[in-house]
A and B are shown apart, each in its own frame.
Chain A
Amino acid sequence: MDGGDPVLGRLKDRIASARAARRALDIRGGGTKAFYGELPCGEPLPLGELAGISSYEPSELVVTVRAGTLLADLEAALAEKGQCLAFEPPRFAAQGTVGGMVAAGLAGPARASVGAMRDFLLGATLLTGRGELLCFGGQVMKNVAGYDVARLLAGSWGILGVICEVSLKVLPRPAATATLRLERDEGAALALLSDLAAKPLPLNASAWHGGMLTLRLCGAQAAVRAASSALGGIALPPETAACWWSDVRDQRHEFFAIGESELAGGECLWRLSVPATAARIDLPGRQFIEWGGGLRWWRTRADAAQLRAAAAEARGHATLVRGADKSAGAFTPVAEPLLGIHRRLKDAFDPDRILNPGRLYPGL
């Protein structure tokens, strides 16, 4: 990425003046994740001008793209070449951007089989809080030259720097896909998922909700066919299945749709990330399970302390994704010595704490 680029120049100027005035900047992509995490604050720093695919080589399985590019535009360009972002980043709305995707570090239904957002991040160019344009990682799959700062940016919520451009690993779309639905109660579903995880099956995604286990198989035609007949259940028509998985990925499924009145009434959406083998978690409310048992979504009125205790008991952590009262913190707090490392990293990248301050944790 060229440091003499006029768009980058304007961003540098904004950082310099914010730094001089010690004013916070709220880095903005499409604003589709403003509800997620701690409240954004500061002067808006929109990245819409920083858009476009810089290079795309399908045979290299790499795309380099500017942060303000719409995720929808990137996915369309990849689909044209039969490729995709295999980790299925959630699209909470149409105007979501690539920068927001990286900063939030979220992944969709395929996460348990293909890996997290950061696993697909090969390189990044960022503007630090000192206004320096730095480039880490690159466009190649294997790279251990220096610390992997690029991957640190995945899920950093913009607190370390303005993500300007990223190189992502892309993958071919699977040759065949099938979705099966099996009637199972929660205990039986979790047991089956554990069992399947140990088998060499082309299992790409799983979801359990309301007594139904939904499994998605992806891979070579023959492998998907053989696994489908071994697993049994009812096969969903391809169109229906594709819509259903998109709704789960983008949280448009009925389970995730919490209305304003329900939020006002104290209902919350919690994300519990736990070892996939964790036992059933018993809480008041409704549950949606993904990632082979590793992700347990709860819609509940139970308080934050109860959710965090349940997650801790399962050796995981709980994030308050949607809720009217975020006073207990959106994310599970980290303790020393990790907290000290977080503070020193923030100082190392953004000494004046002007970039998305407080977006991940208060004080950072």
Chain B
Amino acid sequence: MAENSGGVHCLKYGLTLHNVLRVRGFTAGGEAVAFGAEAPDAPGLDLLPLIVGSEGMLAIVTEVTVKLTPKPQLARCIMASFADIESAGAAVAEVIARGIIPAGLELMDRPMVAAAEDYVKAGYDLQAAAILLCESDGTPEEVAEEIGRMTAVLRGVGATRIEVSRDEAQRQKFWSGRKNAFPASGRMSPDYMCMDSTIPRKRLAEMLRAIEVMQDKYALRCVNVFHAGDGNLHPLILFDANDPGELRRCELFGADILETSVRLGGTVSGEHGVGVEKLNSMCVQFSPAEREQFFAVKRAFDPAGLLNPGKVIPSLQRCAEYGKMHVHRGMLPFPNLPRY
């Protein structure tokens, strides 16, 4: 609720916000309060979207009422391989352009596929530059129709291998690699940092190419999983936290991904929030006037600034400092000065 998160199904079923009817809790002043309603709407301004995803900055939430969705009768998944990232990206756009909203549309790049396969033996295609998992759910008739349409689209954009889950066990197997992407990465490296940003779907290949270049620039490896249907990327940067140089390079790598996302028309956080980690990147995405408006919204809910102070919105001073420190084209200003 605090991060308005959404997993592999949110393209079809919406984000947390779309499935929350009401939250109850307390204002910073200690008064009981409810946002939203069990009814379709509540009187007055619709404050629920401000609360959902607000990272505990606006109120203390103690109870959430969610909408439940009947479980689909059936789900089937297509696993499609692509010889290059560009055609995988084109496949994502083409599925959507043909009027199909899959129940899940996930992409993994080659290093991620290799790591996942090594860990769970999901039967992934190790020759592919990227694989897509494309799911349909609903009534058996609906699923049959949609799987047929999706398979045709994926073939049409040049999938090199297509496999459709025969039964639930095989569907789970297809997903097992994707759902174990994080622990699989953990086996490859002492530490990893999971990034989270969103870009327009059509920039997906461009983004992955940019990350390839960054791997050389920061001398760190990065594996990629994408909620491709939503344009939400989760690059996992592999590093060793015991090496201060690697930690620092990892942080710069992460910030570079976030700022590239903004440049490509996206945002610095899709669902993991800003917290303190992404405060600097918020300076890049929002103007001083917009950040000041965020502070004003915060004060409307929490005039004394008691809740999670210092998170989410960077101060003017911090952004000014970051502006001076800003890494431009990989070059720190005054590179000869020692930094700790």
Q: Which residues on A are within 8 Å of B, measured CB to CB?
A: 57-62, 82-83, 105, 111-112, 115-116, 118-119, 128, 132, 134-136, 138-149, 151-152, 154-156, 160, 171-173, 175, 197-202, 219-223, 225-227, 273-276, 291, 294-295, 315-317, 319, 331-334, 336-338, 341-342, 344-345, 347-349, 360-361
Contacts and interface: CB of A to CB of B under 8 A. Distances in A.
29 contacts: A59-B93, A60-B96, A60-B200, A116-B41, A119-B18, A138-B266, A142-B4, A142-B227, A142-B230, A145-B267, A145-B268, A145-B274, A146-B312, A147-B58, A148-B52, A148-B54, A149-B294, A151-B49, A151-B50, A152-B47, A155-B45, A173-B99, A202-B139, A276-B40, A333-B43, A334-B44, A337-B29, A338-B44, A348-B299
Given A145-B282, A338-B47, A59 B96 contact: yes
B18 to A, nearest CB: 5
Nearest to B268: A145
Q: Taking each of B27, B40, B227, B267, which has the highest tally of chain A beta carbons within 10 Å of its own beta carbon?
A: B40
Contacts of B50: 147-149, 151-152
A65 B96 CA distance: 21
Contact of A221 (B43, B145, B300): B145
A291 to B, nearest CB: 6
A145 B141 contact: no
Given A143-B270, A222-B141, A332-B43, 4 more contacts: A140-B231, A142-B6, A142-B15, A316-B38
Interface string B283-309: 001110111011011111101000000
Contacts, number: 246
Interface stretch (B70-78, B187-195, B212-220, B245-253): B70-78
Interface residues of B, number: 88
A274 B142 contact: no
Nearest to A135: B290
Contact of A144 (B71, B142, B270, B300): B270
A215 B84 CA distance: 46
B269 interface: yes
Pairs of residues from A and B, 5 with the lowest C-beta to C-beta distance, nearest first:
A222-B141, A172-B99, A151-B49, A348-B296, A344-B300
A291 B303 CA distance: 38
A342 to B, nearest CB: 6
B120 interface: no
Contact of B41 (A160, A175, A273): A273
B263 to A, nearest CB: 13
B11 interface: yes
Contacts of B333: none
A337 B40 contact: no
Contacts of B145: 220-223
B199 A222 contact: no
B21 to A, nearest CB: 9
B46 A316 contact: no
A343 B298 CA distance: 13
A276 B39 CA distance: 7
A146 B141 contact: no
B86 interface: no
User: Which of B47, B232, B313 counts the most chain A CB atoms within 10 A?
Assistant: B47
Nearest to A344: B300
A155 B46 contact: yes
Nearest to B199: A140
Nearest to B53: A144
B201 interface: yes
Nearest to B290: A134
A280 B231 CA distance: 44
B68 to A, nearest CB: 8
Given A60-B202, A82-B99, A222-B145, A331 B269 contact: no
B299 A175 contact: no
B265 A138 contact: yes
B43 A331 contact: yes
B10 interface: yes
A220 B290 contact: no
Nearest to B46: A155
A147 B297 contact: yes
B14 A115 contact: yes
A227 B142 CA distance: 11
Contacts of A222: 139, 141-142, 144-145
